[in-house]
Structure 1
Amino acid sequence: MLIQHSFRFWRKIMTHSTKTLVLAFVAAVMMGIPCTAQDVEPPFTWEGKGTGSFISEGGIEVLDFQFELSVDEQGMVKGQTRSENGDAIIKHVFSTEKKQYDWPGFFTRNIVIVFMLNEDGDTPMLSILNGRILLDKFLYGEVMLTTYEAGSDTAKALGIGDPEATLMEGDELPNSLKSALKKCFPFGTVKIVGDYKQEDTSAAAGSEAIALFNKKDLKDGYVYQKDSDADPKSVWKVQNGELRCSGNPVGFLRTRQEYSDYKLVLEWRWLEKPGNSGVLLHMSGEEKVWPLCMEAQLMHARAGDLIGMGCKFSENKAGKDSPISYTPRMNESNEKEPGGWNKYEIICKGDTMELTVNGQLQNKATGVNISKGYIGLQSEGVPIMFRNIELTPLR
């Protein structure tokens, strides 16, 4: 019965063209490299080459390919392979911790790497690499295939549906993942060799963090408020080096200089009951309560949401006719209890943005159609405090 099932499954796979199978294989074989990255701190880039043996309509074939892979400061993984048959990208990566190998002083890791093939087509499939990194020098393993069913236990166990591929490390692979692998079809073998280089992308050479406000007064900022008759100093005050906002009237405090390609770090806490506020990024155009900008949300329990006011980005979940773009945070809220200090780390580089709240990556936007502007803090109804507002230029 098992043989018959495997034969039917194999015939179904073979209905795809040789090129399609090769692309599936290329996608899978590339993915093992991130595991060696556990020994160095991101960001870094891997570059290398690999050789795989697999079964095609013409018999046993050998495929040579090149790959490049990057891991950013939050551990998010990107990469692709290139061969004469095309390119492929990462979908998800699982990794176990280093373990002692048979030879003294040498170590190995188990890895599982997952991709989706033909995601927008009629017959989407998952391509999986199940293997080991040996000696932190080369990877070897098997390539596996399975059909893809959205929302299935197998798809969930293999990480399909997550916003980004993430490198996960643990003592053992989850039982749900092991069970899912038993449902996959062995397809070929692979070996990859390569090397990594540390990337100095966190800050431009020689650059240091810049305090956006001087911790003494408001001279470094420009205040806009809906009620122009209100005294800005009654809304925004500096106390013991910390910036206090009363919340009324609504408006914002922004920098006097425009910025692009930077890492912004700041802390905030609610003084009384929690409410609403935001960090305004790439502000430009008319001065108004809600200007053209990208907003890193500060609304209580929604920190990590990303809103485009008058601008667009690829991950937009709002309707086509909506005046704003929007994508929610990736994970459950990890904010501190009201009164506790929270920390935002925001990376703006080119057309991408990443929002990290209290050390956890909560959002990422790509294809943002604005890349430069002022940086602002919202006054939006309730008292809030900010401190340690610093910007580091990126390369």
Structure 2
Amino acid sequence: MLLALTRCTTSKRSRQAAEWLTLFNGQDLREWTVKIQHHEVGENFGNTFRVADGAIQVRYDQYGDFNDQFGHLYYQVPFSYYHLKLEYRFVGALQRGAPSYTLRNSGVMFHAQDPHTMPKEQDWPISIEFQFLGGLGDGQPRPTGNMCSPGTQIVYKGQLDERHCIESTSKTYDGDQWVKAELIVLGDSSITHIINDDTVMRYAKPQIGGGVVNRYDPALKQDGKLLTSGFIALQSEGQPVDFRNIELQDLSKRR
């Protein structure tokens, strides 16, 4: 009986440990909120974020000139301790008028401010970015799974690092292939980036500070304040991209 009870308890714990919350249902964006620069929160200008073939697609066919309409698609609730996983792929050409640095460039913002606190003309949320880059087919290395920091800073290799972007150790992924990306966030203590099952970056103590973000509410940019939680948002900055299989495992009960 004791052996049977032990097996039952172990099985229950295994099931609990394996539970994942599906953030994207593959059908619609009812649990997500759009915020695009030059537009009010909730306005999905040009049908930028849409669903097709079981994926969230970022497209600009209704845009004309890009006109700095940087966008973000937010999941409806914030998180603090979690394991996020998804797949992404770059498709198509850079939209006319988009900055050249956004070529095969996208990402996931996390520990991000509430989109409802962003003024109409704010470009990026105060957040940390899990940056995705695609190879340019020129044989040059272009790692993905990098860290960028609009309005924030991190502690990297034991020191406060003021660089806006820090490259990971990942391989370069050319073409339109799907790439698996995972993010393990433990509040303000530890953050890990994983690409196709390889750990490519670790850092700690995400905090408000630095530049890049513009036209924000000054009351929200409290430099030096540690970021312990925040929203997750998919990025739109001029490059067509697809996202799918977006799932999250809540780690808060393991603290």
TM-score by structure 1 length? Answer: 0.44
- 1:235 maps onto 2:48 in alignment: yes
Matches of 1:325 and 1:261, distance apart in 2: 24
Q: Which sits farther off after the overlay, 226-235 or 376-385?
A: 226-235
Gap change, CA 1:335 and 1:343, over 3 Å in 2: farther
- 1:280 maps onto 2:109 in alignment: yes
For residue 297 of structure 1, what is the aligned residue in structure 2? 131
Where does 1:156-167 land on structure 2 (aligned, <5 Å)?
A: none
Q: Percentage identity across aligned positions?
A: 27
- Residue 145 of structure 2 aligns with an amino acid whose one-letter code is G
Where does 1:52-67 land on structure 2 (aligned, <5 Å)?
A: none
Partner-residue secondary structure (3-state), 2:47: helix
For residue 380 of structure 1, what is the aligned residue in structure 2? 237
Gap change, CA 1:335 and 1:358, over 3 Å in 2: farther
Larger fraction in strand: 1
- 1:260 maps onto 2:80 in alignment: yes
Matches of 2:173 and 2:24, distance apart in 1: 24
- 1:218 maps onto 2:29 in alignment: yes
- 1:245 maps onto 2:74 in alignment: no
Over 4 Å off, 4+ runs:
203-207, 316-320
- Residue 239 of structure 1 aligns with an amino acid whose one-letter code is A
Counterpart contact for 1:316–1:326, Cα < 8 Å: no
Which entry has the higher C-alpha Rg, 1 or 2? 1
Matches of 2:165 and 2:82, distance apart in 1: 22
- 1:346 maps onto 2:183 in alignment: yes
Q: Which sits farther off after the overlay, 308-317 or 343-352?
A: 308-317
Counterpart contact for 2:133–2:145, Cα < 8 Å: no
Counterpart pick for 1:312 among 120, 139, 153: 153
Gap change, CA 1:211 and 1:233, over 3 Å in 2: farther
Matches of 2:240 and 2:83, distance apart in 1: 26
Partner-residue secondary structure (3-state), 1:382: coil
Q: CA RMSD in A?
A: 2.8
Q: What is the deviation of 1:263?
A: 0.4
For residue 5 of structure 2, what is the aligned residue in structure 1? none
Gap change, CA 1:245 and 1:318, over 3 Å in 2: farther
Counterpart contact for 2:108–2:233, Cα < 8 Å: yes
Gap change, CA 1:371 and 1:335, over 3 Å in 2: farther
Q: What is the deviation of 1:282?
A: 0.7
Q: What is the deviation of 1:256?
A: 1.2
Matches of 2:191 and 2:15, distance apart in 1: 17
Where does 1:78-89 land on structure 2 (aligned, <5 Å)?
A: none
Counterpart contact for 1:258–1:372, Cα < 8 Å: yes
Counterpart contact for 1:250–1:380, Cα < 8 Å: yes
Q: What is the deviation of 1:218?
A: 1.4
Q: What is the deviation of 1:326?
A: 3.7
Counterpart contact for 1:303–1:335, Cα < 8 Å: yes
Q: What is the deviation of 1:232?
A: 3.7
Q: What is the deviation of 1:275?
A: 1.7
Q: What is the deviation of 1:217?
A: 1.2
Question: Where in structure 1 are there 5+ consecutive unaligned residues?
Answer: 1-202
- Residue 71 of structure 2 aligns with an amino acid whose one-letter code is G
Matches of 1:316 and 1:352, distance apart in 2: 12
After superposition, give the CA deviation of every residue in 1:100-132 in whole Å (9 maximum; x if it has no partner): xxxxxxxxxxxxxxxxxxxxxxxxxxxxxxxxx
After superposition, give the CA deviation of every residue in 1:296-318 in whole Å (9 maximum; x if it has no partner): 11132341211222222211899
Matches of 1:213 and 1:379, distance apart in 2: 17
- Residue 209 of structure 1 aligns with an amino acid whose one-letter code is W
Partner-residue secondary structure (3-state), 2:110: strand
Q: What is the deviation of 1:223?
A: 0.2
Gap change, CA 1:354 and 1:231, over 3 Å in 2: closer
How many positions carry a matched residue from both structures? 190
Matches of 1:204 and 1:224, distance apart in 2: 36
Gap change, CA 1:319 and 1:205, over 3 Å in 2: closer
For residue 195 of structure 2, what is the aligned residue in structure 1? 357
